Amino acid sequence: MASVGPALEIARLGVRYGATVALADVDLRVEAGEIVALVGPSGCGKSSLLRAVAGLVPATGEVRATDRALHALPAHRRGVGVVFQDHALFPHLDVAGNVAFGLVEARAAAEVRRERTAAWLARVGLADRAGDDVDRLSGGERQRIALARTLAPQPPLVLLDEPFASLDPGLRTRLSLEVAGWLRELGTAALFVTHDLDEALAIADRIAVLRAGRLVQVAAPHELMARPADPWTARFVGHENVWEGDEAARLPGAPTAALLLAERARWRPGTGAAEGAVPATHVAASPVRDGWRLELEVPAWGTRVRWTARPRELPGGDAPGAGTAGILEAPDEAWFRWTGRG
Ligand code: ADP
């Protein structure tokens, strides 16, 4: 739904439980129609942030949605849709009744209610289950109905708390991509919590990284991967080649801390010299989804580098033997360096 101003604007948001500070000083904007993923280690405050926006836990600071101040309103008057991972449906309503529930609450006319309910049942692939009891649905089906119930009234903003967490990986990927498609089709903005970074990378416009109750970075997926805010964030998003302090001092450019973007570097067996290349001996290999993960000893840098080789990049497509001498080419664009305090 078209709207003016950001779908959500959070300023100085704080949540505490007794002496525990769950969230401190969080500023975050979600633009109209934007999908923002919220990631971070367990216990970092992701759920608390969502609950504070929804009005389900007491919080300090400001929460605005399309220029309305939400922080002063009780949960039921905030007008944001919330879907939690436990796919809580109303047991006394059938499948169609659950989908229609939000439309009833939004006081949609009977005609609109019938049309939208039917459209959403079709969209989530459960048109033939309209009259079923919800306890006859599988976990994936229940979650589809929970999503349909929340999206049917076309709220400008939805909050999704690990909505796919209890599903099998295959189903999970399919449903998360489908939901992203529905959100984009409707122009609905979403703030969604996930512990699955791949899911965040696949469907989010921007990713917000939370660490111990504070936002450390909010960036587009490629930006987060290529330019993480600090070494902690780099490791959190899965980078293995990150060095700090004394370990970083022997790297090219002697940075305070550095990240080698392995996919922009290349190793090959053999000897020789090239710009930005160093001798690197292969030490150990383990199979990964798309090839071999090699561990390379680089004496010039006093460290080891992990690098994934596609089979076509290796002689015979096979992992090299331990002790194979080689050359690691790491041009300047393969490095991301932090200066100042890491
Ligand atoms: P996440 O969703 O990232 O796992 P949470 O928001 O659930 O993190 O929790 C943030 C912090 O607040 C954690 O230290 C957690 O133990 C604490 N916490 C969460 N809910 C409560 C609660 N109801 N009472 C006390 N502490 C809580």
In a domain, 292, yes or no: yes
Give the rounded percent of residues in the chain with a pLDDT score beyond 70: 97
pLDDT of 342: 42
Which residues, other chains included, contact 205 with Cβ-Cβ below 8 Å and sequence gap of 6+? Answer: 34, 35, 36, 220
Non-local (6+) Cβ contacts of 159 within 8 A are: 50, 53, 54, 80, 81, 82, 83, 190, 191, 192
Query: Could you please report the per-residue DSSP string of 52-90?
Result: HHHTSS--EEEEEETTEE-TTS-GGGS--EEEETT----
Structural domain contains residue 276: yes
Whole-prediction pTM value? Answer: 0.92
Q: Residue 4: is its pLDDT beyond 80?
A: no
**Residue 309: CATH number of its domain:** 2.40.50
Residues having CB closer than 6 A to ligand 1 are 17, 20, 22, 40, 42-48
Residue 324 lies in a domain: yes
Whole domain around residue 293: which residue ranges? 252-338
Q: How many CA atoms lie within 13 A of 329 on its CB side?
A: 11
Distance CA(266)–CA(42), nearest Å, equals 34
The string of pLDDT tens digits covering residues 239-284 is 999 999 999 999 998 899 999 999 999 999 998 777 779 999 999 9
Q: How many Cα atoms within 13 Å fall on the side-chain side of residue 60?
A: 10
For 76, residues 6+ apart whose C-beta sits below 8 A from its C-beta are: none
The percentage of the chain sitting over the pLDDT mark of 90, rounded to a whole number, equals 73
Residue 306 lies in a domain: yes
What residue's CA is closest to ligand 1, atom 26? 17
Residues 111-137 pLDDT 10s = 999 999 999 999 999 999 999 999 999
The answer to whether position 23 is within a domain reads no
Mutate to test the pocket of ligand 1, among 16, 20, 85, 209 (most ligand atoms within 8 A of CB): 20
CA of 50, closest atom in ligand 1: 6
**102 CA from centroid of ligand 1 (Å):** 28
Ligand 1, atom nearest to 49 Cα: 6
43 CB contacts (<8 Å, ≥6 apart)? none
Tokens of 12: 């100085």
Distance of CA 22 from the midpoint of ligand 1 (Å): 6
Domain count, the chain: 1
Tell whether 296 is covered by a domain. yes
Output the CA 43–ligand 1 centroid distance in Å: 6
Name the band, by pLDDT with cuts 50, 70 and 90, for residue 47. very high
Beta bridge mates, 83: 160
Question: HSE-up of 161 (CA within 13 Å, CB side)?
Answer: 21
pLDDT digits (tens, 9 = 90+) for 197-218: 999 999 999 999 999 999 999 9
Domain assignment present for 284: yes
How far apart, in whole angstroms, are the C-alpha atoms of residue 192 and residue 201? 12
Which is more confidently placed, 341 or 179?
179
Q: Does residue 191 sit within a domain?
A: no
Q: What is the 45 CA–ligand 1 centroid distance (Å)?
A: 6
At 257, the amino acid letter reads A
Residue 100, token pair as written in the block: 């229609």
Residue 38: its pLDDT value, please?
98
Q: Write the CA distances from 232 to 36, 42, 115, 242, 244, integer angstroms.
A: 21, 15, 49, 9, 10
How far is ligand 1, taken at its centre, from the CA of residue 69, in Å?
25
